[in-house]
Amino acid sequence: MSGKTAQIRNLALIGHGGCGKTSLAEALLFGAGATSRLGKVDDGSSVLDYEPEEIKRKITISSAFHHYQWKKHTVYLADTPGDDNFLADTRAALHVADGAVVVVDAVDGVKVGTEKVWHTANRYNLPRLVFINKMDRERADFHQALKEVREVLEVQAVPIQLPIGREAGFKGVVDLISQKAYVAAAGGGKMEAGPIPDDLKDEVEALRGDLLNFAAESDDALIEKFLEEGELTPEEIYQGLRVGTLKGNFVPVLCGASQNSASASLLLDAINFFLPAPEDRGPLKGQHPATGAEAAFEADPDGPLAAQVFKTVADPYAGRLSIFRIYSGIMAADSTVNNATRAAPERFGQLFLLEGKGQKAVPHLGPGAFGAVAKLKETVTGDTLTTEGKPILLPAIPSSRPMVTFALEPKKQGEEDKVFSSFSKLIEEDPSLSLTRNADTKEILLSGVGSVHIEATAEKLKRKFGVEVNLKPPRVPYRETIKATVKVQGKYKRQSGGRGQYGDTWLELEPLPKGSGFEFADKIVGGSIPKQYIPSVEKGIAEAKNTGILAGFPVVDFRVTLYDGSFHDVDSSDMAFKIAGSMGFKKGMEQANPILLEPVMKMTVTVPEENMGDIIGDLNGRRGRVLGVEAEGRQQVITAHVPMTEVLLYAPDLISKTGGRGTYEMEFDHYEEMPPHLAEKIINEARVEKEKE
């Protein structure tokens, strides 16, 4: 490998929540000399988990970035969230990374979060290493964790290390390539090389035989040598394993304990040896923004600039910080670039490398770098930055669909505008959030990936923008309608000195098919009501239908025909006929067998096959109607119609029933009549609310 970016690496640390990614990242940074002390998540001293919401929960909520130098290589590092609620950030980091280190807990093995991020890495064909962490913990089991990696993740996992000791007795590792044992020196300093312990020699020999086979199979010349001589040099083993790792034929497996920084040096070496340089990933394909024609380019510092913004951080003081990955060309401080997505020039001053919470100003950055600039005017997450005159659009970052929705209200009256303006900044930072207003219930609705996601967002809103909100389940936008046809009189007559008020209408109310809305028909003949008053009758009904008589919900799917009435030469007016129309409608609705309608959602629930029966049973128990089931790989996709009121808080139930493996999407489909016993409950609740007012 002799290209211009041969000594550049960038990678994402991925794995389920709590597997020790951040602690491992801290150990790598400290081991490479990028930080002067070993930060710890548990005591809040981590360089990478620095947001108050992260320190409080002891989890990574937002990807953090750093960089280090190790043996003439420059490595850019993204420490990503493992909690389900924040995986949108992890997916964005994997979209721009060249490789990944997958961290697996030696105690817990492969959990569902690991599966999810592994499948995302598969989509991008990312070369990866597996690091089996926490070897010093009680019940740590390297061989069980390795077995789960192979079986659950369906991958050819090739150990290149073997642990020496386990649990509290964990001392170090045997490197199967160099055939040396590395044991932490007294006082926990650097690893010292020594002979392989006698009790591990047989296992080392067996595993090394497998290792040589995998290394040889990657390269024809190596196969020939191996078949002739039965041995390869360490350099040849590294070469063969590197080729096979980059092709995705297998994944090298290392082990250690992230709290013991001595483990880090061997992983630092492995990242340099096995993970790709930007040029190893092949040409990057994009599109010309104007013509849509495919464009491809190499990771060349001398080529035109191509960078993608994959994360935005909103800061109330510093403004917006755009974090990007450079694929080609050089980005220099104090320059202008072209935003190819929006066809707009962007001028910026300082160029930064992120160091956790801190930033380091640099004069320029090249391919492979994760960098940042502040206060770009037009640019948002997903946009492509290019050289003027050489535009290209990079593939879009896939979005995460919100699964949980809460209604929110400002704690202080009159802060609605502030809520919307502050949230718009947080949505720039986290596109997996969405904020809408429901026109029916008049509520502000915040949607996110999960309850913890929404709660952490509300905490961030208070900390960054000083806005406090209350979260509650959203109201269900019920509707009312009629089932019978009736004829009624709506008459308004008032005499109280001076000019009176007089309006008299005869109305026919009749039900219409589902989805018809409201129709008004004028059948007046012979001038029993003058033409100028007829629009007022319609207006009175149109306003009255917004508050039905059962529970105050809008009335739909009915026609009102105005067929007779009378007027007074002096006392009739637009207002009198508007009131008369409204009175006639309310009276008619009472007599026309009014019913309550509930919104029904179309749900698509994706679950592992073994959970399908439970989930279908659960949906039936929620008054759902299953429309069909289709296989999608090892998953089953269930489509169903379910009343909205039954699935307002569906996400936690689905998570518990599927062990976190299930996902769902839903959208409004239609309205249906609500069962009388349930409708009665809603009507009584509305009555109590009205009495309180």
pLDDT tens digits, one per residue of 521-552: 999 988 899 999 999 999 999 999 999 999 99
Angle at 521 between CA 520 and CA 527, to 5 degrees: 125
> What CATH number does the domain containing 623 carry?
3.30.70.240
Cβ neighbours for 488, distance < 8 A, ≥ 6 positions apart: 506, 507, 509, 584, 587, 588, 591
- What are the residues facing 637 on neighbouring strands? 606, 630
372 neighbors 322 (Cβ within 8 angstroms): yes
Domain match, 447 and 537 both: no
Structure tokens at 69: 């130098």
What pLDDT digit, counting tens, does each position of 135-170 carry?
A: 999 999 999 999 999 999 999 999 999 999 888 888
Domain boundary, last residue among 223, 254, 281:
281
What pLDDT digit, counting tens, does each position of 162-214 carry?
A: 999 888 888 889 999 989 999 876 655 677 888 888 899 889 888 988 888 88
Angle at 77 between CA 91 and CA 376, to 5 degrees: 70
Classify residue 395: in a domain, yes or no: no
Domain boundary, last residue among 446, 472, 498:
472
Output the CA torsion sign for 531, 533, 534, 536.
positive
Cβ neighbours for 235, distance < 8 A, ≥ 6 positions apart: none
Domain boundary, last residue among 357, 386, 415:
386
Classify residue 67: in a domain, yes or no: yes
CA distance 114 to 668: 32
Query: What pLDDT was estimated at residue 45?
Result: 65
User: Closest Cα partner for 366 from 480, 277, 481, 250?
Assistant: 277
Angle at 637 between CA 636 and CA 639, to 5 degrees: 140
> What CATH number does the domain containing 313 carry?
2.40.30.10
Under the banding of pLDDT at 50, 70 and 90, the label for residue 2 is very low
Domain match, 92 and 187 both: yes
CA distance 452 to 426: 16
Domain match, 412 and 448 both: yes
Query: What pLDDT was estimated at residue 216?
Result: 87
Classify residue 398: in a domain, yes or no: no
> What CATH number does the domain containing 533 carry?
3.30.230.10
Collapsing DSSP states into helix, strand and coil, what is residue 34?
coil
Cβ neighbours for 674, distance < 8 A, ≥ 6 positions apart: 478, 595, 596, 597, 598, 643, 682
**Residue 89, pLDDT above cutoff 50:** yes
370 neighbors 325 (Cβ within 8 angstroms): yes
Domain match, 274 and 291 both: no
Domain match, 564 and 452 both: no
Half-sphere exposure of 353 (CA within 13 A, CB side): 17
Domain match, 463 and 494 both: no
**Residue 312, pLDDT above cutoff 70:** yes
For 258-267, 415-424, 507-516, 631-640, which range has the lowest pLDDT when averaged over its residues? 258-267
- E strand or H helix at 76, and its extent? strand 73-79
232 neighbors 212 (Cβ within 8 angstroms): yes
> What CATH number does the domain containing 110 carry?
3.40.50.300
Angle at 198 between CA 192 and CA 202, to 5 degrees: 115
480-497 average pLDDT score: 91
Classify residue 692: in a domain, yes or no: no
Highest average pLDDT, of 29-43, 70-84, 454-468, comes from: 70-84
652-664 average pLDDT score: 87
User: Closest Cα partner for 179 from 157, 199, 160?
Assistant: 160
Under the banding of pLDDT at 50, 70 and 90, the label for residue 511 is very high
Domain match, 78 and 222 both: yes
Query: What pLDDT was estimated at residue 262?
Result: 60
438-453 average pLDDT score: 84
Q: Which domain covers residue 418, as residue numbers?
A: 404-472
Domain match, 88 and 214 both: yes
Classify residue 394: in a domain, yes or no: no
DSSP 300-329: -TTS--EEEEEEEEEETTTEEEEEEEEEES
What pLDDT digit, counting tens, does each position of 168-178 carry?
A: 888 889 999 98
Classify residue 163: in a domain, yes or no: yes
Angle at 501 between CA 499 and CA 507, to 5 degrees: 160
Output the CA torsion sign for 525, 527, 528, 534.
positive
Q: Look up residue 209 and give its amino acid.
A: G
Query: What pLDDT was estimated at residue 365?
Result: 95
Structure tokens at 197: 């312990």
Domain match, 89 and 209 both: yes
**Residue 316, pLDDT above cutoff 70:** no
Collapsing DSSP states into helix, strand and coil, what is residue 154?
coil
User: Closest Cα partner for 306 from 384, 395, 389?
Assistant: 384
> What CATH number does the domain containing 431 carry?
3.30.70.870
CA distance 391 to 288: 6
Query: What pLDDT was estimated at residue 189?
Result: 60
Domain match, 117 and 247 both: yes
Domain match, 569 and 607 both: no
Domain match, 440 and 500 both: no
Q: How many domains does the chain have?
A: 5
Sheet containing 384-386: order of strands: 344-348, 335-339, 384-386, 306-315, 319-328, 370-374, 351-355, 358-362
Classify residue 338: in a domain, yes or no: yes
Structure tokens at 118: 């592994």
Classify residue 353: in a domain, yes or no: yes
What pLDDT digit, counting tens, does each position of 102-124 carry?
A: 999 999 999 888 988 999 999 99
